[in-house]
Structure 1
Amino acid sequence: MNKILFDFFPIVLFFIAYKNYDLYVATAVVIGATFVQVAYSWFKLRKVETMQWVTLGLMVVMGGATLYLQDEQFIKWKLTIIEWLFGAVLLGSQFIGKKTIMEKMMGANLELPKKVWSILNTVWALFFISIGVINIYVMFNYDTETWVDFKTFGVPALMAVFILLQLAFLYKYMPEPADSED
């Protein structure tokens, strides 16, 4: 639970800053919060995950362009770029190496046939790509406030529903619980 809160820390601060000020203040806040997140990971765990570095880099570039050019489109595009990057990496892992990224991440806890790992990996890639497409639709067809609400609440809600669907798909592959005798 702490990891989830930690991961959403910049998004929550972005939302609060947007609701109290504007998108430009919120952008500055989320850049700072992402730096804090990376620094905390380094000092607490002595490790920063690759995606944290990528997110920080994109946040600095896209957020910086938003602030410097006073153009909110850059920060809005960041979500699509990161989602498409996730999707591309997942798809690429189908062809590079012996295991997909999903198998590397979950393989120690779950035993699945190779074909199922491939399906799971592909479905996650398509999910991320779809989120990027939906973001483009929202950013070009709705106002900034709706986009902020979508980014803050819509994307996590879609992720939660998608995870539940994945659990339903994977249920038949779950090992039977061992009977414990008293």
Structure 2
Amino acid sequence: MKINENREPAGTARLLIDIGPLLVFFLVNFLAPVPGPIKIFVATGAFMAAMVAALVFAAVRYRYVSPLLLFSGVMVVILGGLTIWLQNETFIKVKPTIYYGLVAGLLAFGLATGRPLLKLVLGSAYPGLTETGWYKLSRNWAVFFAVMAVVNEAVWRNSTTDFWIGFKLWGVIPATLLFAIANVPMLLRHGLNAEETKPAEPGPVE
């Protein structure tokens, strides 16, 4: 798919594309008028539909789909499909672990080979950032994603489904946004042009 940096989604549009499907998952799980045990499966179906809609919207409206969003979308469709087909919620619960783990591994590999991979994904969002800045940003997010993979495993294996979903809503999303904000002072010290910066995150919140 051709990437057109001039039409890349930013601000509210970027936030809705990245977080919107997850919010649909939460809302359907909490509000769907179905018996408790099957809510997770209904919510998973809605999550899959919302993710596909977000991908199509980004592709049609902006002619740009973030590689991380595409990766997340494929995982949602595959693991969500297995969740519904096999009636086993483990697949959708382990999806964030796989996503975080793979992204952390890719970022770590990039750093080990001298290539801060986040620059390929977010280059247009952080103008003026030095190579040192990209290295530190990639390192910080690699650590964050690795920690989140471990935390997700610990939570879903040792709590109820409702608690896990609440943790994603009230724990994961705020933690991700706060971590992104915490990186801003470092980015400014390493050449970030704040006036031209487009609000962006390394990827969709899982």
TM-score band, normalised by the shorter chain?
0.7 to 0.9
* Mapped partners of 1:173, 1:122: distance in 2: 14
* Mapped partners of 2:63, 2:119: distance in 1: 25
* Mapped partners of 2:193, 2:132: distance in 1: 21
Q: Which amino acid aligns with 1:100?
A: P
Residue 110 (str. 1) matches residue 128 (str. 2): yes
Q: Deviations over 1:123-179 (max 9, x none)?
A: 2111011111110111011111111111123111111221222123334335799xx
Equivalenced residue count is: 175
3-state DSSP of counterpart to 1:80: helix
Residue 148 (str. 1) matches residue 159 (str. 2): no
* Mapped partners of 2:193, 2:61: distance in 1: 37
Identity across aligned pairs (percent)? 25
* Mapped partners of 2:142, 2:192: distance in 1: 26
In structure 2, list runs of 5 or more residues that go unmatched. 1-11, 33-38, 195-206
Give me the TM-score of the superposition, normalised by structure 2. Answer: 0.76
Q: 1:110 to 1:66 in 2, by over 3 A?
A: same
* Mapped partners of 1:57, 1:92: distance in 2: 22
3-state DSSP of counterpart to 2:129: coil
Q: Which residue of 1 aligns with 2:45?
A: 28
- The CA deviation at 1:13 is 0.7
Residue 12 (str. 1) matches residue 23 (str. 2): yes
Give me the TM-score of the superposition, normalised by structure 1. Answer: 0.85
**Structure with greater contact order relative to length (CA < 8 Å, sep ≥ 6):** 2
Q: Which amino acid aligns with 2:101?
A: W
Between Structure 1 and Structure 2, the one with more helix by share is 1
3-state DSSP of counterpart to 1:94: helix
RMSD of aligned alpha carbons: 2.2
Residue 81 (str. 1) matches residue 98 (str. 2): yes
Q: 1:176 to 1:53 in 2, by over 3 A?
A: closer
Q: Deviations over 1:89-127 (max 9, x none)?
A: 21122244x641234424751333x44432321121110
